[in-house]
Structure 1
Amino acid sequence: MHGYRAALLSFADDGSARYEQDGLLVVGPGSDGRKVIRAAGNYQSLVGNYPGVQVTHLPGKILAPGFIDLHVHFPQTDVIGSPSEGLLPWLEDYTFPHEARFSDHAYAAGVAKVFLDELLRNGVTTALTFCTSHPHSVDAIMEASQQRGLRMIAGKVLQDRHSPDGVRDDTQQSLLDTEALIRRWHGKDRLGYAITPRFAPSCSEAQLRGAGELAAQYGDVWIQSHVAENKEEIRWARELFPAARSYLSIYQDFGLMRERAIYAHCIHFDDDDRALMRDTGSAAAVSPTSNLFLGSGFFDYEGAHRIGFRHGLASDVGGGTSFCPFHTMLAAYYVGREGQTKPGVSLGPQDLWWQHTAGAARALGLEGVVGNLAPGCEADFIVLDPQATPLLARKTAHARDLDELLFSLIVLGDDRAVASVIIGGQSS
């Protein structure tokens, strides 16, 4: 076992933050041999329970759960920052041409390395990511994640229509490939598979039906897709599926809404949609930098809280503009203040941080596994330096309480504030 002495940031079941100014985090092997958190709490209260355990002292630092990115596209790493009039032109002009290159496994493997480097540099230790329609792209990200011991969830995109050559797949083959990839990667080490229709307009009814059948057969895999991001996209989806009550209900009609189903964006919802998310246990991946960048709209936090469905934060790179969770949390704060149909919504720093850690873990069905510093959680955590830059040091030194400390990091922090990242109990 090994101990770390520093301030500790963790989360209670209600989403509120807990902060131990002088804390001890003890890491050791769990029942399956993986490194887990064995104890977390006040240093003086705990240290006597672990005689002889080597302790790394980190004065002035904060240990926090590794961030979780609920929705990101690893093949779009090089698409980030590409200008466009909106979602659909952006896909046509940048995304699809670039994703066509991922038929080459060597190319995919090179991008996977850069992608994982960026995640870890920014303190992201778990991600749910889209690959491309090429099975090689899944192999590339899974192989690279396995080498680093990461908890990663990924899936081959399904898109058998309304897609250009190079990324469009064959209906039957795409389903065969998906099942083969599930069997190859799901549950191997810390890896998980996600059945991944790109979005309803890119999938035929036969492909969506097959995806739903696979979701029923493999009940512990994840499902991921996009929904209600852009008004033009919604109009298109409703034209293609006129019998559906709403865009979201298309996925329900094909058996694709359940626990472990994560839908990106979920902007243009009514209360029936929100209730469907709640009742099926599905969750929203809120992507504020992407929504602001592409002019898609604002996630309705008031509606989500009022109806009560799971949600968490996501970068959505490459539509999103940063891998940095601090930037994502700040953008979500703007959305909460300015983008609501009803005034008065203000997302506090503890809530914002929870959405990117323990709340995101709950959305994934991984509560108690990742996203928190609690006994039994896997030992993925980050070392934060609140003095990483002169201005951040000046601001955090004057923080009167936890909210001011966390908000200073959200507003002024970037990758420089992530002093180190621990994956499975080992420095990455």
Structure 2
Amino acid sequence: MQAYRGSLLRFDPAGRPVYDEDGLLVVGPDADGRQRVQDAGAYAAVAARHPQVPVTHWPGRIIAPGFVDMHIHYPQTDIIGAPADGLLPWLENYTFPAETRFADKAHSAEVAEFFLDELMRNGVTTSLTFATSHPESVDAFFEAAQRRRLRMITGKVLQDRHSPDGVRDEAEQSLIDSEALIRKWHNVDRLGYAITPRFAPTSTDAQLRGAGELAAKYPDTWIHSHVAENKDEVRWARELFPHARSYLDVYAGFGLMRERAVYAHCIHFDDDDRRLMRETGTATAVSPTSNLFLGSGFFDFEGADRVGYHYGLASDVGGGTSFSPFTTMMAAYYAGREGQTKPGISIAPSQLWWRHTAGAARALGLESVIGNLQPGCEADFVVINPKATPLLSRKTSLAANLEELLFALIVLGDDRLIERTVISQAG
């Protein structure tokens, strides 16, 4: 058992912040030796319940849940900031050429190590991650994550048409490879597998049907893809699947919408699409820096809340422009202003934070496992220095309440805020 003292941020089941200015987090091993939160709350009360537990004190620091990134591409690490006219030219000119290199296991492994270093430096402790169509890219990522004892999710990309040589696969073999990878990696240590059609236009009916059959056979896996990101993409999907009511309905027709299904973007939706998300338990990974960078549009936060379905925040590197959750939260605040019909701030700072931690965990089907620091959660957390820069120090010292403090961190923060990232180690 070990205890950590500092200001403590966590969330209640309704998504409201719980903040102890002088708090104590007590962690200890479960039956498998994995560190979990045993107790949390005000220092005086919690310390009295654990008088023999040694305490590490971080004065002036905030102990907060590790961030959860709901959609990110590790093979696109090297193409952040690549200029393009929009999504489809960006894929053609930068993404696909970069991803062809991931047939090489050594290259995949080198990028995976750098990528995970970058996540840890920015306080991201779990991500739902795209690999490439090459099984080598999946093995390399899982091997690197397993060595670090991280909770990570990825899967082989499925794309058997409208893709160039070097990334295009073949339907039957792609499904055989996917099932072999599920059996090899899913639920091993803290790893999870995601069945991953790139997006509907790059898969044949046979591949999408097979993906749906895998999803039914392995119901605790994830499903991970893109939908309704870009108007040109939406038109293309309509041409390819004329019998579907909408782009999203394509996935429903192939059995690819359920709990633990996550679709990135979901910008060009109507309320029928939103209701389909709600009724199937499917979640959206909102990727605001990518949407702004590629000119794709703005996620409708008010529409999602009105209909009521799960969503959380994502960086979408490399279309996204930063690994930093603070950059993502700030961009979500900007996007929330677009089309806002009610006066006031677009999204409360604590809600932005929740959508990138416990709310994202809920959307992934991992509520009470990650993304929070309530008893029973795995003890992945970050230590934040609110005085990491002179401007932050000045601004945070003026905060009159928690919302002002969190907003100052979101607006002015970057990787310098993350003093350390602590992972729930086993053994």
TM-score by length of 1: 0.98
2:249 match: 249
In the alignment, structure 1 residue 347 sits paired with structure 2 residue 336 = no
After superposition, the C-alpha distances for 1:300-348 in whole angstroms (9 at most, x for unaligned) are: 00100000010000000000000000000000000011x2264547101
User: What amino acid maps onto 2:173 in structure 1?
Assistant: Q
Displacement after TM superposition at 1:226 (Å)? 0.1
Task: Look up the SS of the partner of 1:20 in the other structure.
Answer: strand
After superposition, the C-alpha distances for 1:147-168 in whole angstroms (9 at most, x for unaligned) are: 0010000011000000000000
1:269 match: 269
1:418 match: 418
Displacement after TM superposition at 1:31 (Å)? 2.9
After superposition, the C-alpha distances for 1:29-48 in whole angstroms (9 at most, x for unaligned) are: 11332110000001101112
1:147 match: 147
1:79 match: 79
User: What amino acid maps onto 1:320 in structure 2?
Assistant: G
User: What amino acid maps onto 1:31 in structure 2?
Assistant: A
1:209 match: 209
1:52 and 1:400 mapped to 2: Cα distance? 35
2:267 and 2:358 mapped to 1: Cα distance? 22
In the alignment, structure 1 residue 102 sits paired with structure 2 residue 81 = no
1:210 and 1:279 mapped to 2: Cα distance? 23
In the alignment, structure 1 residue 395 sits paired with structure 2 residue 405 = no
Displacement after TM superposition at 1:179 (Å)? 0.1
Task: Look up the SS of the partner of 1:388 in the other structure.
Answer: coil
Task: Look up the SS of the partner of 1:386 in the other structure.
Answer: coil
User: What amino acid maps onto 2:72 in structure 1?
Assistant: V
1:276 and 1:152 mapped to 2: Cα distance? 27
User: What amino acid maps onto 1:21 in structure 2?
Assistant: E
- Counterparts of 1:141-290 in structure 2, within 5 Å, are 141-290=141-290
2:264 and 2:162 mapped to 1: Cα distance? 20
2:126 match: 126
2:369 and 2:90 mapped to 1: Cα distance? 36
Displacement after TM superposition at 1:53 (Å)? 1.0
User: What amino acid maps onto 1:347 in structure 2?
Assistant: I
User: What amino acid maps onto 1:114 in structure 2?
Assistant: F
Cα pair 2:340 2:346 within 8 Å, conserved: no
2:56 and 2:267 mapped to 1: Cα distance? 45
1:300 match: 300
Q: Which runs of 5+ in 1 are unaligned?
A: none
After superposition, the C-alpha distances for 1:164-205 in whole angstroms (9 at most, x for unaligned) are: 000000110000000000000000000000000000000000
Displacement after TM superposition at 1:425 (Å)? 5.0
2:340 and 2:294 mapped to 1: Cα distance? 20
2:326 and 2:48 mapped to 1: Cα distance? 36
2:41 and 2:12 mapped to 1: Cα distance? 13
2:96 and 2:271 mapped to 1: Cα distance? 33
Cα pair 1:197 1:203 within 8 Å, conserved: yes
- Counterparts of 1:38-77 in structure 2, within 5 Å, are 38-77=38-77
2:116 and 2:124 mapped to 1: Cα distance? 9
User: C-alpha root-mean-square deviation of aligned residues, in Å?
Assistant: 0.9
Task: Look up the SS of the partner of 1:90 in the other structure.
Answer: helix
1:233 and 1:356 mapped to 2: Cα distance? 27
Cα pair 2:149 2:425 within 8 Å, conserved: no
Displacement after TM superposition at 1:135 (Å)? 0.2
1:342 and 1:239 mapped to 2: Cα distance? 33
1:7 match: 7
1:343 and 1:138 mapped to 2: Cα distance? 44
Cα pair 1:289 1:331 within 8 Å, conserved: yes
CA distance 1:425–1:177, shift in 2 (3 Å): closer
1:398 and 1:342 mapped to 2: Cα distance? 30
2:277 and 2:48 mapped to 1: Cα distance? 47
**Identical columns (%):** 68
User: What amino acid maps onto 1:348 in structure 2?
Assistant: A
Displacement after TM superposition at 1:50 (Å)? 1.2
Aligned length: 425
- Counterparts of 1:333-344 in structure 2, within 5 Å, are 333-337=333-337, 339-340=338-339, 342=341, 344=343
Cα pair 1:36 1:425 within 8 Å, conserved: no
2:51 and 2:412 mapped to 1: Cα distance? 39
User: What amino acid maps onto 1:7 in structure 2?
Assistant: S
Q: Which runs of 5+ in 2 are unaligned?
A: none
Displacement after TM superposition at 1:16 (Å)? 1.2
CA distance 1:204–1:26, shift in 2 (3 Å): same
User: What amino acid maps onto 1:171 in structure 2?
Assistant: A
After superposition, the C-alpha distances for 1:204-231 in whole angstroms (9 at most, x for unaligned) are: 0000000000000000000000000000
Segments ≥4 residues shifted beyond 3 Å: 341-345
Cα pair 2:151 2:190 within 8 Å, conserved: yes
After superposition, the C-alpha distances for 1:125-166 in whole angstroms (9 at most, x for unaligned) are: 000000000000000100000000100000110000000000
2:362 match: 362
1:88 match: 88
